[in-house]
Chains A and B, each alone.
Chain A
């Protein structure tokens, strides 16, 4: 673990100087996690890539404000989350009709789950599907809490709601998700 961390620190230092190769390397390292985060929050594949890339550019331009209090990944992720929430709110406000690219992964799904990885992926997909089927704010809250790993305080800040509201919402969302998963199994 330590070598990677120092390596990241090294990369960040080079990014501070505007080294493009270092920036691309950071992108390489984090794009997948950041893309998935943006995708889970906005639910749009087309927007998620843009948001993720804009967040990277933003992070590189204001890299001086990264003081190293948290890990670089967490700092970057927070930017992605904030940008995603902004984009998501815009989508909601404009009332755009969501386009779910359900055929996109059709081929993978229909193939038999042969190895352990595929089985895990299928499980993940099932859980994500269930989360998606929840109420919008439940979906967002649970995504932030269970998958992105934010605590209540962070979530109420991100979603701009009160602490009590946040707690209640997440606990209800959890109950509702658990029920859905059980129904599915049973």
Chain B
């Protein structure tokens, strides 16, 4: 019997686990019932490569125009030691705007080696803990690019968020800068939701940091400050987003992944998702781990096109409401056979079958021009 760590390494192949960022951790909370995804993510498999390898590439490209715009907006806000940012955040939180604030860039000299990462994280940790809000330390302080850590599936994951942690009025506040516009006080709900769950990851990591050092995790506010361009221009506007709900969801999914042993118990011993392996082997291996595909996966999961192909013919692939409207019958062929009366329903399908037969009759009548 191999240890969990060994098994996960075996699944991943001979490569180090793929590094998570807030975006990938946030994506974990979508479709929590999917075992395939939980196992692959826990093992840190490079799903983008895996999907390409098996012939179902993901389509999550990012336009360079969007990246340029995002960087420019962020640079504009952080200019002059974040004076503008500080004013916006303080005003939104309803606290007096401090005359000045200390600005610490914890992302300095980023050199992407593992050793440096650990050192940088230690530095982030020390600086943030030294600055824990207290009656003595209640001046305004901004920390840019803190390197945070989070335990995901028993592994320490480093997060390098594009975030500013602001110490203001005796608390830490997570400040997230996004380049989508807020027009007349409204923004794209999908983008706000994505930003909220990402921010929740940072709140969680900051709280874990405080808890581990024996501080009150409540010192990190659950109202995240989202800074976006206002209307059609470049002027920033700050809004508060309450992420308490997202924190709960995140906590629950991380706990579930922490119990990865239970999940692995149901996975074949020789299961592998090593992108080096032969595509046919990979496809065969993947089909042996349960997935729970829903059309919503297309927007979040790199493997979605594969899962969609695999579930072709199933009513669930048409969307959960379709499956429910068909009385929970699993495949389209079965639903049609029940509707045509060509197949005897299982006892628990009796009600659904009656409904489907009536529906098929009504449809046929209406389409043939006989209204009943």
Q: Do A and B come from one complex?
A: no
Using a CB–CB cutoff of 8 Å, the interface residues on chain A facing chain B are: none
